[in-house]
Structure 1
Amino acid sequence: MNTAKDVLEPLRHLLSLEHLPRAQLIALLDRAQCFVDGEGDRAALAGIAICTLFFEASTRTRLSFQLAAQRLGADVLNFDVSTSSTRKGETARDTLRTIEAMGVRGFVVRDNEDGSVAALAAAAGPGTALVNAGDGRSDHPTQGLLDMLTLRQAKGADFSRLRVLIVGDVKHSRVARSDLHALRTLGAGEIRVCAPPSLLPVGDTLAGCTVSHDLDAALEGVDALMMLRLQRERMEEGLVSSLEDYHRDYGLTASRLRHAAPDAVVMHPGPINRGVEITDEVADGPQSLVLRQVRNGVAVRMAVLETLLGGPLRPC
């Protein structure tokens, strides 16, 4: 018998994975896998206009959303903040409503303020759908989905068997928060987190996780590692003494990786600071799934856009 958490309901926006029902999350992963396998309707969004509204820099997320929308047949508008009226003082809300008035139905939004995308979603008109492409340190739901798809492809659908380790700047990472929401929803057997005390969040972000400051110990027997980017500005804040010290204590090397399960996989959301959080040998090695994450990002974002703008999820 399904619980209320498993009831599949239509999505208006995708702002976070925190309260996304398990059934909805799995349905999105299933649909994304259809696109990975070359199936699905490549004209599902023909005639629909989508705007990538990025107020913060991005490479992987922005380009993969553009490609996802194009592959679904949508018309794509690429918003350039450097040449927009925001430079003249126009608010993000007015920018959204202005573009919406042109008939644009979908918005992919990135901003550096926590909660900013949810605020824009509240201001959007009926029939308009927003996807959070990263807001502040709060959420990055499509990154969480693509990470789960990549992990499921590598390790199977039964997450209860998995020991997953997240390493690095969890305190400031919206990726880590979305991954944690998704791992809990999918019933991951054990979630470990390893970071220096200065880069660990306060509050209930790490509820149910095993927290460590010793990477070698935390690595023992894990099935998957999710390495996080060290945001270099944290050095200026005094949260990290030096890049060399961080790499010594928390950098993933080939020798360290041997503490994990023999078939452990390594993931990283990018961009990678090579030689800081991960070495070339590991990033480019046989256990790395970094480029598969990038490839899966297009399929996941196709599934999300199709779900929000093209009607109910359909089987392959």
Structure 2
Amino acid sequence: MIAYHPSLRDRQLLGLKDMGAAELESILKRAAYWEAHEEKRIPVLEHRFIANMFFENSTRTRFSFEMAQKRLGAQVLNFAAAASSVEKGESVYDTVRTLESMGIDAGVIRLKPIGVLEELAKHVKVPLINAGDGNNEHPTQALLDLYTMKKQFGEIRGLTVSIVGDIKHSRVARSNLWALKALGANVKFCAPHSMQAAELEEHAPYVTMDEALDADVVMMLRVQLERHAEGVLKSADEYRAQYGLTTQRAAKMKPHAIIMHPAPVNRDVEIDSELVEAPNSRIFPQMQNGVPIRMVVVERALR
């Protein structure tokens, strides 16, 4: 039997746009395997070194990756740009190449500029995992969202998923769109005009808030209103009144439907505070599901 050695490109995770259904399903299946392990630490990557390179802050995502890596027994190096030479003008490329030269086996990277990660991946010889790049993609967030839906419904094909909020700036919306479509779900967007991404309309229609509530999954996105100071919605109260998931709107959802949100949540802006931990909310389970998903992605990078 000839051993299969996956290429570097097969092992890295830059995005979900071109990932097929079979690969997505295999990741979800493996996540269930890791979640079923009762031991906190399974040292399958004991002699591997992974650098978490965050050129943009996200405590929650970094901790989730670090928990996943340490559960697999890997040696973890945490790099924060705010306390590094990148602040003094060193390029992202130079930083990644420096860590590669020191002997890391894989890198988890989060950064603001779009396109930089794709270029970096062409020049380094270790697998890179996208922990969020600009408003392009956030693949592990979408994978944990898929895993949450699969645990809830058993099957993703045929589900209707409404994504509500700032689609224009959302890497979460994009990764979810590509993955959900690949697995046969129906995706709808709902957003104020100033928060719509016109280039995505051919893939998912923009609907009204009432139409968005007619779904199996209602996924609310975090909104940063300062980005839209010139837009129609100038205050948090105004946004909540028109596009927030209020308790009144939630009452119109289907009995079996669930509420999701990538977090952190602006309580009483995109979603009323009492709904965050309502019986049909999966917001905290999503965070929990992030660990087995990221265990799979890290294991996949270093297999």
TM-score by length of structure 2 reads: 0.93
Which runs of 5 or more residues in structure 2 are unaligned?
Answer: 1-5
1:207 to 199, 202, 206: 202
User: Aligned-pair distance for 1:152?
Assistant: 0.5
Could you tell me how far apart the structure 2 residues matched to 1:60 and 1:88 are? 26
Alignment-derived partner of residue 210 in structure 2: 216
Could you tell me how far apart the structure 2 residues matched to 1:81 and 1:239 are? 35
User: Aligned-pair distance for 1:144?
Assistant: 0.6
User: Aligned-pair distance for 1:39?
Assistant: 6.7
Query: For residues 308 and 239 of structure 1, do their structure 2 counterparts lie closer, same or farther at Cα, with a shift above 3 Å needed?
Result: farther
8 Å CA contact 1:13–1:308 kept in 2: the answer is yes
8 Å CA contact 2:145–2:286 kept in 1: the answer is yes
User: Aligned-pair distance for 1:241?
Assistant: 2.2
Q: Which amino acid aligns with 1:20?
A: M
Map 1:19-58; keep pairs closer than 5 Å: 19-38=18-37, 42-58=42-58
Alignment-derived partner of residue 162 in structure 2: 165
Alignment-derived partner of residue 149 in structure 2: 151
1:268 to 257, 261, 267: 261
Could you tell me how far apart the structure 2 residues matched to 1:129 and 1:218 are? 38
User: Aligned-pair distance for 1:236?
Assistant: 2.6
Alignment-derived partner of residue 13 in structure 1: 12
Map 1:55-66; keep pairs closer than 5 Å: 55-66=55-66
The one-character-per-residue Cα deviations of 1:110-163 (angstroms, maximum 9, x if unpaired) are: 0011122212111202xx110000000000000010000001001112x23311
Alignment-derived partner of residue 132 in structure 1: 130
Query: For residues 85 and 239 of structure 1, do their structure 2 counterparts lie closer, same or farther at Cα, with a shift above 3 Å needed?
Result: farther
Alignment-derived partner of residue 3 in structure 2: none
Could you tell me how far apart the structure 2 residues matched to 1:58 and 1:237 are? 27
Could you tell me how far apart the structure 2 residues matched to 1:250 and 1:297 are? 27
Over the aligned positions, Cα root-mean-square deviation in angstroms equals: 1.5
- 1:121 matched to 2:121? The reply is yes
8 Å CA contact 2:55–2:112 kept in 1: the answer is yes
8 Å CA contact 2:16–2:179 kept in 1: the answer is yes
User: Aligned-pair distance for 1:258?
Assistant: 2.2
The one-character-per-residue Cα deviations of 1:197-224 (angstroms, maximum 9, x if unpaired) are: 1111022x23242311x2123313x111
User: Aligned-pair distance for 1:239?
Assistant: 5.5
Report how many residues are paired.
295
8 Å CA contact 2:225–2:234 kept in 1: the answer is no
User: Aligned-pair distance for 1:88?
Assistant: 2.2
2:183 to 163, 186, 189: 186
8 Å CA contact 1:253–1:281 kept in 2: the answer is no
Q: Among the aligned pairs, what percent are the same residue?
A: 44
Tell me whether 50-59 or 80-89 shows the greater mean CA deviation. Answer: 80-89
Query: For residues 90 and 66 of structure 1, do their structure 2 counterparts lie closer, same or farther at Cα, with a shift above 3 Å needed?
Result: same
Q: Specify the SS of the correspondent of 2:51.
A: strand
Alignment-derived partner of residue 3 in structure 1: none
User: Aligned-pair distance for 1:303?
Assistant: 0.2
Could you tell me how far apart the structure 1 residues matched to 2:238 and 2:117 are? 36
Q: Specify the SS of the correspondent of 1:79.
A: strand
8 Å CA contact 1:112–1:135 kept in 2: the answer is yes
Query: For residues 196 and 71 of structure 1, do their structure 2 counterparts lie closer, same or farther at Cα, with a shift above 3 Å needed?
Result: same
Q: Specify the SS of the correspondent of 1:52.
A: strand
8 Å CA contact 1:227–1:267 kept in 2: the answer is yes
Which runs of 5 or more residues in structure 1 are unaligned?
Answer: 1-8, 312-316
TM-score by length of structure 1 reads: 0.90
Query: For residues 241 and 83 of structure 1, do their structure 2 counterparts lie closer, same or farther at Cα, with a shift above 3 Å needed?
Result: closer
